[in-house]
Amino acid sequence: MKESPILAPHLTAETVATRWPSVSVLVPVRNAEATVGAAIDSVLSQDYPGSVEIVVADGSDTPATADLIRRLYPKAKLVPNPEQVITFGIHAAYRVATGEVVVRCDAHTVFPQGYLRRAVSTLLRTGAANVGGRQQPVATTLFGRVVAIAMTTPLGAGGARYRQGGAEGPADTVFLGTFRRDALEAVGGVDPSLGGAEDYELNWRLRARGETVWFDPGLLVAYYPRDTLWGLAKQYFNYGRWKRVVAQRHPASLLPRHFASPALVLGLVAAPVLAVAGAGWAAVAVPLVYALTMVVGSLAVAIRRRSYAALLLPLALATMHVGWGIGFFVPVRNRSGLEAHWRLARRAPASMPSVSVLIPVRNGEDTIGAAIDSVLAQDYNGSVEVIVADGSDTAATSDLIRRRYPMVKLVRNLEQTAGFGLRAAQRVANGEILARCDAHVVFPLDYLRRVVSTLLRTGAANVGGRQHPVATTFFGRAVAMAMTTPLGNGGARYRLGGAEGPADTVFLGAFRRDALEAVGGVDPRFVRNQDYELNWRLRARGETVWFDPRLAVAYRPRDTLLDLARQYFDYGRWKRVVAQRHPASLRPRHFASPLLVLGLAASPVLAATGASWAPAVVPLAYVLALGGGSLAVGIRRRSYSAVLLPLILATMHLSWGIGFFTPVQSGSTGAAAPAK
């Protein structure tokens, strides 16, 4: 094959006459630390003559996959996928990809040598919008081998070439795919509102636009079939459900083979009804014909392939057919949010206000990468700049940012507090909107678009949402539970949730620059509670702080009792400072913990005076409230972590209350610094 590929009419002469097109390989993953390495290695070992970048969208429950990629594959782009849906991952990866050709890869996929060269060559030779090949099932268990046979026979594949094979040429869909970027952009890319059948739906939109989807049987990619009957049933049930969604959206996309399983299910369901009606042989016609077809067909496959595993084909095929058919009649629930996200993303204005994302950080080299990646992956149709104010004790964080994120503005924060960091970042920001982000935060894909749209719609000075506690330890999950109950947060909407509308404070926030500058911005004298104090000054000036419950941002609660006690002790201390500065800012919930501490402290004094029941009233009432409330929460949420709730809630309440009575010393970091 020539080193310079054949010119295709859809690519310019400048692109292909002297070099091969650049390629971006998109890899959505979730909890894939055991397999993603092999997938990335197979991409890196390709003999492709052009440039290749790898973009991994990580939707894992733990940092294990992301840590592995950062350690072993530092050149791979890593973007977060907080929605943990594969289509959202593809969409997030696509937004940061720079290649002229976009290739889909999965975390369990291993590309054979020569895959990229052949796929791109075929793309350029045919002028197709998408080129792909077929699955090559690879199994190591008996049942896996049975499923592999089932998927590659007409009885199981229904004639689909990407599973059964066939002649090269135009097709309705292919496995994975290598896309011309211009064609992909013209139809809006993968639709993330789909949880399945997204490849078929995307290829349908390409073909409906007059493009060609090209099948190349030489593009073989290993595929690992399900190893259990239950896993196979769930897989095909979901296939059927999402095929129904695609059929509702694009009725003309259905092919004859798609009606086979639903028709079978209807026939099987009708059989007992016909039997009761006395229909005689008609009642058993469908079950009998189906059973005979499966047995005879499986026997023929067993003889032709000389495999005893094929004797189990009737079981596997029936599971696939019935699972798919039942799924086709079961609607997908809770899809409205995903669809609204996609509709808004595609209808967003071409030019939104410019945004500056301010990130104060201290010794955050382990978490800052995920935070920045989540900002860079936003589906925001406007300019976004990222400014990091580094107050670290070492150069590790700033070195990481300079090496991996040269586009990020980096400023020093010598005072090492969040307030001073935000102030330093604000001074160099250029955006019309200033959005706060923390080093341990991961923005959802649509965060900036939603927060700015709400800001423009409401005219508020600040729009924010709620914390979404995410924990991986038993203790952390109990803290997360405590933070999202009235017992732990006193009804604060940014933790508990609630109706959209004006609020006293919100989590993080996106600010109109003019409103922020009018009140002087964040007061860096506040080490804690600076967000509440800033929002109070905005509201005192007649501005609105707006709470949007859809803006849920992941937050990692403390993992030890001592850290939790320190955190809430500081909350109480700095709430006292805010109360001294703005007495009217206090809410009834702010008095609960201080009054509890006073009541508990008064108990031994009352006991010493000889009072009978009075000394025990506050401790007894508090213990009963904690015990009863924790039990109710545990039952409602069905979580064993609730057994720790009394301990955690008591730590939060008492630490906050004691902190409220503990003055902040004038020599504390940042306490005496003047606001500017």
C-alpha to C-alpha distance for 522 and 525, rounded to whole angstroms: 9
C-alpha to C-alpha distance for 350 and 387, rounded to whole angstroms: 24
The answer to which of 63-77, 105-119, 418-432, 526-540 has the lowest mean pLDDT is 526-540
Task: Give the helix ranges, DSSP H, for 541-675.
Answer: 561-581, 592-608, 614-637, 645-660
Residue 253 covered by a domain:
no
Residue 69 covered by a domain:
yes
Q: For the residues 272-284, what does the mean pLDDT come to?
A: 75
Q: Residue 676's pLDDT band (boundaries 50, 70, 90)?
A: very low
C-alpha to C-alpha distance for 145 and 141, rounded to whole angstroms: 6
In whole numbers, what is the pLDDT of the chain averaged over residues? 81
Decide which of 425 and 584 is more confident: 425
Structure tokens at 603: 């108990």
Structure tokens at 590: 């702010």
DSSP 352-413: PPPEEEEEEESS-TTTHHHHHHHHHT---SS-EEEEEEE--SSSHHHHHHHHH-TTSEEEE-
pLDDT in tens, 624-668: 877 777 787 777 777 777 788 888 888 888 887 888 788 776 544
Surface-to-core class of residue 636, CB atoms within 10 Å of its CB (0-12 exposed, 13-18 middle, 19+ buried): exposed
Q: Which domain holds residue 175?
A: 13-140+154-225
The answer to whether the beta carbons of residues 106 and 28 sit under 8 Å apart is yes
Say whether pLDDT at 429 is over 60: yes
pLDDT the model gives residue 342: 46
Reported for 608-612, long-range contacts at CB under 8 A and 24+ positions apart, including other chains, are none
pLDDT in tens, 180-223: 998 988 888 888 778 778 888 899 899 988 899 999 999 988 87
Structure tokens at 39: 């997938």
CATH number at residue 98: 3.90.550.10
Q: Residue 2's pLDDT band (boundaries 50, 70, 90)?
A: very low
pLDDT the model gives residue 51: 92
Residue 287 covered by a domain:
no
Residue 181 covered by a domain:
yes
Bridge partners of 390, per DSSP, are: 361, 412
pLDDT the model gives residue 185: 85
Residue 430 covered by a domain:
no
pLDDT the model gives residue 611: 62
Torsion sign across C-alpha atoms 655, 661, 662, 668:
positive
pLDDT the model gives residue 12: 45
Say whether pLDDT at 674 is over 50: no
pLDDT in tens, 303-319: 887 777 777 888 888 89
CA distances from 469 to 391, 556, 651 (A): 25, 6, 18
Surface-to-core class of residue 227, CB atoms within 10 Å of its CB (0-12 exposed, 13-18 middle, 19+ buried): middle
Cβ partners under 8 Å of residue 267, min gap 6: 286, 287, 290
Residue 455 covered by a domain:
no
pLDDT the model gives residue 297: 82
pLDDT in tens, 482-495: 777 777 666 677 66
Residue 114 covered by a domain:
yes
Q: For the residues 503-507, what does the mean pLDDT come to?
A: 85
Q: For the residues 29-50, what does the mean pLDDT come to?
A: 89
pLDDT the model gives residue 607: 67
The answer to whether the beta carbons of residues 32 and 108 sit under 8 Å apart is yes
The answer to whether the beta carbons of residues 628 and 647 sit under 8 Å apart is no
CA distances from 160 to 109, 200, 298, 490 (A): 20, 12, 18, 58
Residue 294 covered by a domain:
no
Say whether pLDDT at 286 is over 50: yes
Torsion of CA 436, 438, 441, 444, to 10 degrees: 20
Q: Residue 673's pLDDT band (boundaries 50, 70, 90)?
A: very low
Query: How many distinct structural domains can be found in the chain?
Result: 1
The answer to whether the beta carbons of residues 225 and 319 sit under 8 Å apart is no
604 three-state secondary structure: helix
CA distances from 281 to 130, 274, 285 (A): 49, 9, 6
User: What is the residue whose two structure tokens read 């699972």?
Assistant: 323
